[in-house]
Amino acid sequence: MSLGASLFLLAAGAILTFAIEVEAEGFNINTIGIILMVIGGIGLLLSLMWMQRSRAGSSSRTVVHEEEPREGRVVREERRDVL
């Protein structure tokens, strides 16, 4: 679940729980709102953990290779690898 979807579920659940007053038999809209907020909160935590984990695993290195000048020419090669 993405970060945006989690925030959307949290917001929709809060609206259903706190802003809407509806009475119906066999259907409680406040309970649906709480369920949406719980699912959104779990998704938010999982999204943040996944983002942190993917950031920690990524690193980069730069390799520079220079050759001695031959006939007035300098060759320089630079490569960046993302690990």
Rounded Cα distance, 54 and 74, in Å: 39
pLDDT at 41: 95
CA 16 distance to own-chain centroid: 25
Using DSSP, state whether 22 is helix, strand or coil. Answer: coil
pLDDT in tens, 11-60: 999 999 999 888 888 888 899 999 999 999 999 999 999 888 877 666 66
Are 83 and 59 in contact by the 8 Å Cβ rule? The answer is yes
Higher pLDDT: 35 or 80? It is: 35
